[in-house]
Amino acid sequence: MAARRFPCICLTVVFLAMIAVVAVSQIALELRAGGPPQIAELFRQKPTRANLRRLESSLESGCRIGQMVRPWMQLARFVLLEDAGDNAILGRDGWFFYRPAVQYLIEPWSPEGGQTQGNVFDAIISFRDGLAKRGIQLLVMLAPNKASVYPEMLADRAGEHAGPINATTTDIVTRLKQAGVEIVDLFEVYDLAKRRAGSPACYLAQDSHWSPDGMRLAAEAVANRLVDLGWIEKRPTRYETRSARVERHGDVLRMMRVPQVERLFEPQRMDCTQVVDAETGQLYADDPNSPVLVLGDSFLRIFERDEPGSGGFVAHLASNLGFGLSSIVSDGGASTLVRQQLARRPALLRGKTVVVWEFVERDFRFGTEGWQRVPLPPE
């Protein structure tokens, strides 16, 4: 019995010694830097769940030894186990997927904090009705999750799939259409694009966002829908485009925060097009007096405010329509935050006849601040 217990005791002692060495080393480094040990915060505040979690997170991120060792451990996990960390999932052929977006597709929706499909529906209908009272039309553009469009790149067994994969998406979109909300169906647009032989991918392999080609397809679809509905008349275009190549690692790969892993992959090359004023040669810029206001998240930021600049959805929609637009962009906050920003900037609604509202599919469940009703500012 004693012989069998000896290895267990040794492992326990070694494990406790490692913990002690890290803790003592961290305290010594903090004292040497002239500050109090971070662990002292434990005795300066009430031991509530929130305070303990905050302290745990602070200790983890501030540990010097952890900062040195963690990247190499993450590299080993990635190479040996294909573990891409908390925010990323490694798919096939070097494709990366944003973990919350995949969770939205495959995990049952267990609403937390009162968030339900009804909240989503009510918030959108309320916004549509509030705009309608001012004579403003609402067009919703749902940006599909990358895994909804390319499930076959997530896993072999996923296979090809046309249309929304998640029943929640189908249910909410169906209810909204039945309630008279106008929606641009990018699932259909991208499915048709995938079926065309030799067509470029609509999403970036290392990124959570659409590719330049996928973005241009979305801009064309929205422009055509606005014209078909009779809400907007196209004007003779005042814009032209010019090519701009961009090379960078995608946001999902960078979310790992492990340079050693990034170096395993070549930066992705993107053939973008910038929108410029045909007369002045200046890059596209928003027009606050435009009749069209565009609201959205990072799908509107990419290529527009990031490199190459003036080459994203808003600029290309303006090019398709022939005139400048107004826009509000809030990374990760298109469900509620972008409408809260609009409520604080009432001047942006003056003279508007159309609002285009983009949000990503996963926000049905994971939208920042949920789906709140946000009253429009007084006229």
CA distance 255 to 88: 7
The position carrying tokens 């549509």 is 128
Q: Look at residue 199 in the predicted model and tell me its pLDDT.
A: 87
Backbone angles phi, psi at 343, to 5 degrees: -65, -25
- Which of 214, 155, 215, 142 has its CA nearest to residue 184? 142
Cα of 137 vs its chain's centroid, Å: 26
CA distance 303 to 259: 23
Backbone angles phi, psi at 353, to 5 degrees: -115, -20
Rounded to the nearest 10 degrees, what angle do helices 212-228 and 313-321 cross at?
Answer: 40
Structure tokens at 145: 């999750």
CB atoms within 10 A of CB 158: 17
Beta strands 239-248 and 268-277, pairing class: antiparallel
Q: Has this prediction a pTM greater than 0.95?
A: no
The position carrying tokens 């993450």 is 74
- b/e 102-125 (16+ beta carbons within 10 angstroms → b): bebbeeeeeeeeebebebbbebbb
Mean pLDDT in order along the chain per 10 residues (379 residues): 66 64 61 65 70 64 62 73 85 94 85 70 97 98 96 78 75 95 96 90 97 98 98 93 96 90 92 95 96 98 96 98 96 93 93 98 91 90
- Which of 294, 132, 305 has its CA nearest to residue 219? 294
H-run or E-run covering 356: strand 354-360
Q: Look at residue 76 in the predicted model and tell me its pLDDT.
A: 76
Cα of 112 vs its chain's centroid, Å: 20
Q: Look at residue 69 in the predicted model and tell me its pLDDT.
A: 62
Q: Taking a C-beta distance cutoff of 8 angstroms, is the pair 284, 275 a contact?
A: yes
CA distance 283 to 315: 9
